[in-house]
Chains A and B, each alone.
Chain A
């Protein structure tokens, strides 16, 4: 009796979660799909977003993520390579940097927003801008990205390093030609995690990249990210719900697209170098 009760409870909890996800996705599709069209994706918002589209907002979103990646990708890879390949295990300095990264990974996103506003927007004088928002997000995703890449590099079998050493390769070329390509799956996983978080982020952007929904002319213009647009439409614009649901669908599609791109990036670029 108790056994049966227990196994039904287990199946029930799994079914409940599956049903909840289907409910959410179903509702989003039901409420948003009819509003989506090519015109919606490319045209500018009108009437505070109730009608018109999300063209400039998509451009701003892509620019913000571009800034984020331009900073976080090279910096993150450098730190991961240094931690995994250029320091000894148990080195005090590198352990302290790891601790700093773990602490940073725990900071709530709204607090990154506070920091970004105080430091990038005001102290460095960037104002409400795409640059400020992108840099804030870069700081936010760095810890997760670095740790995932580092774990991937550390997991590469030691015989690869010994082989490179035996061939007389420098550590630098071993990293470049062998270890980074071999760790490509982990790097792309870190990239997916980072881009996913950055694309979905709202709280850190509200007071760093701002609300302006015009087409941005430079990185120093304020630009409204898609996630911020959804928030604004649903909270501050009465009658904005259909557009909000359509934007939510576009946001989810965008995240899936980035996942595929990151996967392709790792498969093609890094792995091919290993194969030839």
Chain B
């Protein structure tokens, strides 16, 4: 007789919790925009992109060198991580015997769970001296790219493996019946058929790479300049925020928030493209 009454009592608080979550997102955006407002209003954002460089003490807030560095490090990392990650996915899906596949999956999730600060520490104390003994100082674009690639390989591998696993078995069997070798089946059937899912995996990895702070902060050397060589130190946007937030005031602080906002937009655009690519892959499933 009282059935449902308690549901009516319970539902509103649950719904409220849902609203709180949505409100938190609005709050985040609101505070980012509010803190960045001094730069965003009055055309200050144009200086943001036009200034000759980043000299906060003199009121020059040109972020272009760091934006370019962020993009270059991201592209470098994905150029290493995409082929290796895809190779790992193919290994998991078609080459590894079941026991080995299970172990390798565990290994990938271990690497994925490795705290980025620990990867950064390893990069700084092991990789950087190796690069430095060859091309000093060692903290460089190359070091950042390599450690970042290591960080996103699990994302790339696991997401690509799940895309490959959704390739219809009938396609692969049909190709085998036609006498195609395993390599031909993988290259021409599986990768083509899972193309959208693999693209989505690469975009997700890129989003992770450009949003990452600690690894790049610790091994990239943090000199504000346009990347001009693999062995040159660079500073990326995320690292800049982490380095200068502690003492930034006024316009300086506002421009750090504005660069955070810009970073968020880039990551969201990449994530949106990844989701769209994944969506289109499901139409053929």
Contacts and interface: CB of A to CB of B under 8 A. Distances in A.
Nearest to A107: B264
A11 B91 contact: yes
A82 B31 contact: no
Prevailing SS type, chain B contact patch: helix
A24 B119 contact: yes
A152 B240 CA distance: 39
A70 B47 CA distance: 44
Contact of B117 (A78, A200, A207): A200
Contacts, number: 239
Interface in A93-145: 93-94, 96-97, 100-104, 106-115, 117-119, 123, 139, 142-143
Contact of B17 (A82, A94, A199): A82
Interface residues of B, number: 84
Prevailing SS type, chain A contact patch: helix
Nearest to A244: B121
Contact of B124 (A11, A24, A115, A234): A234
B118 A114 contact: no
A100 B218 contact: no
A97 B22 contact: yes
A21 interface: yes
B122 A27 contact: yes
A252 interface: yes
A93 B19 CA distance: 9
A245 interface: yes
A234 B260 contact: no
B104 to A, nearest CB: 6
Contacts of A139: 24, 28
B115 A234 contact: no
Interface of B: 3-7, 10-11, 13-15, 17-22, 24-25, 27-28, 31-32, 34-35, 83-84, 86-88, 90-92, 94-96, 104, 107-108, 110-111, 113-122, 124-126, 150, 153, 157, 181-183, 186-187, 207, 210-214, 217-218, 238, 241-242, 245-246, 256-257, 260-261, 263-264, 267-268, 271, 275
A-B pairs with lowest CB-CB distance, top 4? A13-B87, A108-B211, A200-B115, A82-B14
